[in-house]
């Protein structure tokens, strides 16, 4: 699965133009997001949603999506972004409450002073719980986005979202060992890409944005295969 996922962003061996175009646009949007926060990443999310819908069948490099059809790309990017924010909202709130209380305690408020052993322990436990909660909450997100991407476009956006959030379907998908393995592979690829984009000198980081996008596409391809075929 790792080999197929890493090969997927390269597209059809006989036509590397589509892969080069996607890499240039996706990496460029990541680069633009360093100057204009958030907005350039919406079409990137839309593209990754397309990958989740296109890469689920047997290894078929010709199914590499493109950034064309801007309207549907932005719509899928907006829906995917809202779903991701919704899934991450709970751990973010827990994290804010935990560290907000610690900071107010250190400032002389009614909270726990983080400089004391008790305060340090509370902050450490709170951060660990938040991390585990974030992993548990984010775990089904690729399956949700893949289901949304594969739903009938004629059904409408809300109907596709409802179908993607079906508890019964999600339980069947995310409880398999195949999905767990694919999710782990994708998560490692994304983390490596983030490290690549944030390390080294400024020129190295500029190149890292394109590497990050490449690994994001590879991660989405792995997650799509973990969900299974389009049928």
**pLDDT, tens digit (0-9, with 9 covering 90-100), for 120-179:** 565 676 667 767 777 788 899 999 999 999 888 888 889 999 989 988 888 999 999 999
Q: How far is C-alpha 196 from the geometric centre of its chain's CA atoms?
A: 16
Q: How many domains does the chain have?
A: 1
The Cα angle at residue 122 between residues 120 and 125, in degrees rounded to 5: 105
Return the closest-CA partner of residue 8 out of 207, 194, 182. 182
pLDDT by residue for the chain (231 residues), tens only, comes to: 788 889 898 887 777 788 899 999 999 999 998 888 889 999 999 999 999 988 655 455 557 888 888 888 999 999 999 999 988 887 777 667 666 655 555 444 445 555 556 555 656 766 677 677 777 888 999 999 999 998 888 888 899 999 899 888 889 999 999 999 999 999 999 999 988 887 766 666 778 899 999 999 999 999 999 997 543
Which domain covers residue 150, as residue numbers? 2-227
The DSSP result for the chain, as a single string, is -HHHHHHGGG--TT--HHHHHHHHHHHHHHHHHTTS-STTHHHHHHHHHHHHHHSSSSS-GGG---S--HHHHHHHHHHHHHHHHHHHHHHHHHHHHHHHHHHHHHTTSSS--TTSHHHHHHHHHHHHHHHHHHHHHHTTHHHHHHHHHHS-GGG-HHHHHHHHT-HHHHHHHHTSHHHHHHHHHHHHHHHHHHHHHHSSSHHHHHHHHHHHHHHHHHHHHHHHHHH----
Q: Report yes or no: 10 and 16 within 8 Å, Cβ to Cβ.
A: yes
Nearest to 70, CA basis, from 17, 14, 29? 29
The span from the CA of 48 to the CA of 8, in Å, is: 12
Global model pTM greater than 0.85:
no
């Amino acid at each position: 699965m790792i080999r197929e996922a890493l090969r997927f962003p390269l597209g059809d061996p006989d036509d590397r133009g589509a892969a080069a175009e996607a890499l240039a646009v996706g990496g460029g949007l990541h680069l633009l997001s360093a100057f204009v926060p958030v907005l350039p990443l919406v079409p990137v999310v839309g593209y990754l949603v397309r990958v989740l819908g296109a890469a689920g069948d047997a290894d078929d490099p010709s199914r590499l999506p493109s950034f064309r059809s801007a309207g549907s790309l932005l719509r899928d990017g907006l829906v995917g972004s809202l779903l991701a924010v919704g899934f991450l909202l709970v751990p973010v709130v827990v994290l804010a409450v935990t560290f907000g209380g610690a900071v107010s305690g250190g400032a002389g408020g009614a909270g726990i002073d983080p400089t004391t052993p008790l305060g340090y322990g509370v902050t450490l436990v709170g951060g660990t719980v938040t991390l585990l909660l974030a992993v548990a909450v984010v775990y089904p997100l690729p399956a949700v986005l893949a289901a949304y991407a594969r739903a009938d476009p004629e059904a409408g956006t809300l109907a596709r979202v409802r179908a993607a959030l079906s508890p019964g379907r999600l339980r069947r998908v995310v409880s398999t060992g195949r999905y767990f393995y694919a999710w782990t592979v994708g998560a490692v690829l994304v983390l490596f890409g983030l490290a690549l984009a944030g390390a080294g000198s400024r020129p190295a980081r500029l190149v890292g944005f394109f590497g990050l996008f490449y690994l994001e596409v590879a991660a989405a391809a792995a997650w799509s295969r973990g969900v299974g075929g389009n049928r």
